[in-house]
Amino acid sequence: MRHDFQLSIITLLGACAVFGITPFAIFRFATGNLVAAIVDLLILASICVTVTYAWRTGDNRRSGFFLALCTCAGGTAVATVVGGVGLFWLYPAMVTNFFLTLPIIAVVINGLAVAGLMLHGQAFDSSEQMLSFATTCVVVSACAYIFARRNQHQRERLERLATHDPLTGAKNRRAMEEDMQAAVAGFERNDMPHVLILFDLDHFKRINDQFGHRQGDATLMECANLIQRYIRRTDTMYRFGGEEFVLIMPGVQETGTRAVAENLRHKLATELRCPGGRVTASFGVASLYAGDDVDSWMARADSALYEAKASGRNCVVIRERVPVTAPENGTVASPASPRPT
């Protein structure tokens, strides 16, 4: 729950609803108001089923929507059965809807609840009470909508800051490790092929030394933008550190890895420029194999990148799981040596 905001909201609000409604269900059974008591039990059952579904499936979007619909419909039903006393249950339901589902959907659900009660009319003692209730519901929903939108915006900003490099806009190392774990798990389940590409800008220190760090940062940003233009939407780029980047490419077969990496190397070599001339990059490539974990997969790609640097830079090295003793089509598979900058 500490790592899943939506699931924590569903769980906590579900628990509050259960503890808040249960005493009233017991009281209504005890006083003979069976219809209202049955409505309360149906609401409780729906909440429990929804929270259980969210925990078992992780489908927070559907769970939140159904919980919002359930609590609002339940509050409307209670108000219809018991009259004006039941109207008070709709206020917390309307506020919590904005935490359970999208703000615009919460507005629609709240509006339908108010409209249904006004059309039925039996829950109100007078037209003045009905108009007062409708007005207060609109005010409560408007305030909750503004707060929910603001909260959503702030949460999205924090999530982006936690997972993206502020300079290049690429994802950061933390996000990369999580996505690599997911790729390994996905490969174990359905054999989805993945390719890991590490690339490092050649002689990047010279750019910083000769033209300053401002120009170095500009080169890194231009590099990231260039790569983003030539990869697919399903591919993800990460800034690994300094001038080193990582690509995770799902669905790329092992036979196509060289063509993919060579195309990216060529694009950088021909289009990336700095005041000192063109900027090239060295590439290390590794496919995901059965039995791999994150460390072994990364180690092969990193070893290939070392080889690319040691072999003259501006080239692609593919590291197979079983090292190849002789290079083929530019592939180098000898033991890794210290990586030049």
Q: Which residues are catalytic?
A: 243
For tokens 């609401």, the residue is 43
Rounded Cα–Cα distance for residues 237 and 245 (Å): 7
Secondary structure percentages of the chain, helix, strand, coil, to 5:
65, 10, 20
* 294-301 contacts at long range (C-beta below 8 A, 24 or more positions apart): 294/177, 294/180, 294/181, 294/184, 297/180, 297/184, 297/196, 298/180, 298/196, 300/196, 301/196, 301/197, 301/198, 301/246
Rounded Cα–Cα distance for residues 278 and 314 (Å): 11
Taking a C-beta distance cutoff of 8 angstroms, is the pair 232, 223 a contact? Answer: no
DSSP 60-125: HHHHHHHHHHHHHHHHHHHHHHHGGGGGGGHHHHHHHHHHHS-HHHHHHHHHHHHHHHHHH-TT-S
Taking a C-beta distance cutoff of 8 angstroms, is the pair 235, 195 a contact? Answer: no
Cα(first)–Cα(last) distance of the chain, in Å? 43
Assigned token pair, 267: 């694009």
Taking a C-beta distance cutoff of 8 angstroms, is the pair 341, 205 a contact? Answer: yes
For tokens 């209504």, the residue is 28
Rounded Cα–Cα distance for residues 165 and 159 (Å): 12
Assigned token pair, 214: 């401002």
The angle subtended at Cα 10 by Cα 4 and Cα 14, nearest 5°, is 145
Taking a C-beta distance cutoff of 8 angstroms, is the pair 235, 179 a contact? Answer: no
